[in-house]
Every structure is written in C-alpha cells, then in structure tokens.
Structure 1
C-alpha cells in the first residue's frame, strides 16, 4: 500500500509565510556587509514569486540570497531551511530537487551541531527528520529496487535518530509526525508489525494532545491492522 504524502501535510515544515520574516527590513545591507550582494530584496522577490507559484524564477533568487547572507550564518541557515522545505515540496514533480533539498538541511544541521547551545528555530532532531523525509519521499519515485531500499533505510535511521531527542524536548507534535513517518517507511519496507507499533504511538500522541491528525492516523492504523489480520467475510453464503 504505497501512500506517499507530504511531510505530514507540511506541519513539521516551515509555513510559506515564515520566510517573510527573513526578508523583513531587519535584514539590511549593512548586515550582509562583506557579501557580494544585498540579500534582502532577493528574498522579498523570491517570496513573492514563490507565493505566486512561480518557482522557476524563485529558486535561483533563493540561491543568490543564501550566498548573499554568507556574513550572517544564522539568517543564512534560516533561509537554507526555508529553501529546503520548498525544494522538498517540489520534489514530487522534479525528483532531482530532493538531493538539493537534502544538502540544504544537511548544511543547517552542520550549523546547529557546530554551535551547541546557540539558539535556532529548529532543533537538530527536527532537521534530521527533514533530511529523512527527503529520502522517504524520493524513495517512492525510484524504479531501482536497490536504490529504493537504500533510501528507505536512510530515512528509517534518520527518523529513529530524531525520536529520542524530540521526546526529550517534549516536541509532541513533531514526535507524532515522526512516529507516523517511521511507520510509513516500515510499511513500505514490508515490516507491518513495526509499522503498527509506530502508528500506535502517533495515534496516542494525537489523542493525548488533541492533534488534528487523529482521525486520519487512526484510519491508517486500522488499515495496517487489517493488512496483518484481514477480517473474515460476513454473510450467509457458506465458503
């Protein structure tokens, strides 16, 4: 049952409006002194184009803006994360964008891990889940079974590496999302029993915290259980 969905309908990922903050007047030419270009107008223009759905023109502007923020690594990595989210969302139509999305998230993860204790909007665990999701989604478009299996394995290991930290951080919604995603990866790997275990965790978190995904996740869990133990036909006709 191959049911690829976006990273839990985008709830773990930055919403489209977030990067408007990156493009606000707070980012001035002086703040990117030493860079070859002023990033602020590029970000504003890229955001406008992205909101219109004109990604062919928006993506090169994001790349130029990222380069322009070389002197401001915090803002640069904010924008890298945002750019990675967009690339990942577009990967279903253009799969060669998945590795580019992954490279953005990996750069962000490197920044976070190189400066422990430095405040950043997204935890290392959340970024690992984003990296995992690039493998997760890309695997569904792979015709080569060996490559597909390797991508699913990478996704599984990265999701698992994020779980404990998300729990320690009490990041309950992203923990539920990641549990769902691990469960889906397990299903695609043919490991239905483990998939059910992860979906049970996701549903329990949805129920405990009132997350909107409860009904859909419960339906998915029910479908997985049915795959493991199909219900016997009901009727008067003898079989």
Structure 2
C-alpha cells in the first residue's frame, strides 16, 4: 500500500499538482487558514477522484452544496460545513456505502425519503435534522445507525424510532414542549439507547423530567 501526503495552503493547489487526484482515497482538510471553498473549485478538484472513501473538509465552509459529491460511490465518511443548507439533495442518498454523514452546521428541515435506503449509515451529525416518515419501499430499518445529533422532536414518532433499533446515542433539539407525550412514549422504542440529550428551545420549566415521566427504562438502566 502506498501512502501520499502533501501539505497544501489551499486545496485548489491540487488542480496544478503533479500528483493526480484520481488516485485519492482520503482527503482531510486540517487547517482554518482558508475558511471558504467555492463549490465549483471543489468539483474541479475531485471530479476524477472516483476512489475516495474519506472526504473530510474539517472547518472549511461552503456557501452551497457542492455538486458531484454523489459520484463518489465508495465514500464511507463525509464531512461538510454548509450553514445555508436546509435540505439534503436526494442524490446524496445514492452514497450507499456511507457510514458517517457529518454536516454539523446545517439545519435540515426535512431529509429526503431516500435516506431510508442508506442501510450502512452508523453516524448522523447535523445542527438539526428532521427525518421523514418511512416510505415503505425500502428495508424496514436503519439497523446500523447508532448515533444521531440533533433530531427534531417532530421526528421522534414511535414508527421512526422503532426503525432505529440499535441507536446508542441520541440528541434531540427543538421545541420539546409541543411533543412531550410523543417523546415519552416513543423513546421506549429505543431499547439499546445509552445516551440521551434533550436541548429545549421552549420556555417550559423542568421540561426534561416531564418528558421522561412515562419513559420505561430497561432493567440495566435502572
């Protein structure tokens, strides 16, 4: 196996590099000296990098979603910072080998229904994300998913959480006051849950204790 590392002040230097980007397996951006990258440059850099498995832009910020990401069908790890993004392109759900989808600055108002076909997903990290109801045409569950942050309260239905049978860590973010009864009952579907964090946007006092009043802890959690 051959490893190649190169220190770059700007990722666009790859456009003129003697090293062909088509051989890239992993790309990690570890500096904050270049705070933004134009999606057009991103597409030009990686348009021939069909073998990429890890694409981590670190703290680099995009103004919009970079087209062409869906062509990296071997990707297992993807991190993008796109604060303006409010919806996930359905084409992204074609990355069926993806284990980790990390978009920590994006508030997703609703993910596409095709996210349910990403059966290898293990880690979903967003500023907030609303999962859609299961469309009924894919596998019944995302059985490999073990981490979600931060799920919108409206997505915490019994049906949706029951389709995440091996979830270990869950962070819920939003107005919890409107979903108290829903959360208390639906959280009981997460039999493997080890860590739960509730971040409330409403002004209801002592909301977490109210929310969990109906939650039935597994014997090993008591």
TM above 0.5, one fold?
A: no
TM-score normalised by length of structure 2: 0.39
Which gives a bigger RCO, structure 1 or 2 (Cα 8 Å, sep 6+)? 1
TM-score normalised by length of structure 1: 0.37
Choose between structure 1 and 2: higher helix proportion. 1
